[in-house]
Structures are given as structure tokens and as C-alpha cells.
Amino acid sequence: MTEGFDADAMIERFRERAEGVKRRNLPPVAGDERRHFLEQAQKDFQDFAMIGDAEATLEDGVLRLTIDLRPPEDR
């Protein structure tokens, strides 16, 4: 499974997904459905962006993603 796996390419796809969420058009919904859509979009963006910022290592078939959640000034 790890043969030919490119962790950097995977991370780049997550960066692209995060950007895609930012560009999503708001469907013609209102009320609770609109609120739910916006909340889900925020969660999707956060998840994709976090993985997009990860540093990946692949050792002995184990993929490790390191995500530094500290503010930039504390890194």
C-alpha cells in the first residue's frame, strides 16, 4: 500500500479541498438549513486546512501527520 504513496501530494490535495470549501457557493437555503450548511462548511474548511498544514512522515508503513496547533508566534 505504501509503495508509490506520496504524502506531500496527499497534503496538497487537502490544501486544495480547503480552498474549495472557501469558494463553495451557498445553495438556495434559508433558516436552519442555511445555518447547518455554514457550520458544516466551517468544519470542513478547518479539517482540510489542518491536514493541509501537516508535516507528514512515512516510516515502516506508518503515516504520521504532525500538526502544530500553537499560534505562529509560539512555534
Task: Kindly report, residue by residue over 14-67, the tens digit of the pLDDT.
Answer: 999 999 999 999 889 899 999 999 999 999 999 999 999 999 999 888 999 999
* Whole-number Å distance between alpha carbons of 3 and 57: 14
* Domain extents in the chain: 7-74
As beta bridge partners, residue 59 has 62
1: Cβ contacts below 8 Å, ≥ 6 apart: 61
**Residues 45 and 17 sit within 8 Å (Cβ to Cβ):** no
**Residues 43 and 60 sit within 8 Å (Cβ to Cβ):** no
pTM for the structure as a whole: 0.80
